[in-house]
């Protein structure tokens, strides 16, 4: 009996349709941004390592929010008006949770003698799972609908509008 053939194009397409893969790709783009900024703040400007790390984290976090909205959750076209800033604030709350996980891992690895750049990358990876679960359930939520079927915006749903 012949084994089934796998069409690599359809397989790759199926993998890229997985939200977690798209989320990981966006995060993967954020890692070099974070590392370059960390190098700049610590290696060039000679800021102490933890403040430099925090200064590197914030811009990469905002870039990741925008990229996730456009790429990972692109099908969520219901985001209008106040939805963007509300999602951005939720994303920041999520990032702060990831930040706590990341700082804990980063600090622990530094204490173990790991160089700050690989320790930074490892901290980012450690925070990935926490961030994805929270973002999927708290930040990038699917559209809610009025009784008539029209889309209820995030701001309207949360009483901001």
DSSP 105-158: HHHHHHHTT--HHHHHHHHHHHHHHHHHHHIIIIISPPPEE-TTS-EE-HHHHT
62 in any annotated domain: yes
125 in any annotated domain: yes
149 in any annotated domain: yes
pLDDT digits 0-9 by tens, 99-132: 899 889 999 999 999 999 999 889 988 888 888 9
76 in any annotated domain: yes
pTM of the model as a whole:
0.67
Domain span at 73: 10-157
36 in any annotated domain: yes
What is the tally of structural domains in the chain?
Answer: 1
1 in any annotated domain: no
pLDDT digits 0-9 by tens, 21-79: 899 999 888 889 999 999 999 999 999 998 998 899 888 888 999 999 888 888 887 77
3 in any annotated domain: no
Give the span between the Cα atoms of 95 and 101, in whole angstroms. Answer: 10
20 in any annotated domain: yes
């Amino acid at each position: 009996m012949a084994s089934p053939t796998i069409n690599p194009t359809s397989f790759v397409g199926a993998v890229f349709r997985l939200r977690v893969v798209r989320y990981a790709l966006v995060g993967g783009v954020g890692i070099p941004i974070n590392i370059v900024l960390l190098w700049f703040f610590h290696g060039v400007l000679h800021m102490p390592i933890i403040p430099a790390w925090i200064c590197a984290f914030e811009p990469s976090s905002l870039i990741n929010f925008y990229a996730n909205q456009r790429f990972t959750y692109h099908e969520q076209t219901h985001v209008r008006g106040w939805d963007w800033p509300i999602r951005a604030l939720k994303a920041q709350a999520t990032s702060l949770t990831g930040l706590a996980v990341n700082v804990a891992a980063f600090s622990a690895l530094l204490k173990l003698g790991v160089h700050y750049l690989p320790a930074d990358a490892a901290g980012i990876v450690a925070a990935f799972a926490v961030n994805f679960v929270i973002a999927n359930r708290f930040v990038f939520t699917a559209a809610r609908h009025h009784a008539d079927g029209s889309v209820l915006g995030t701001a309207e749903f949360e009483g901001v509008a």
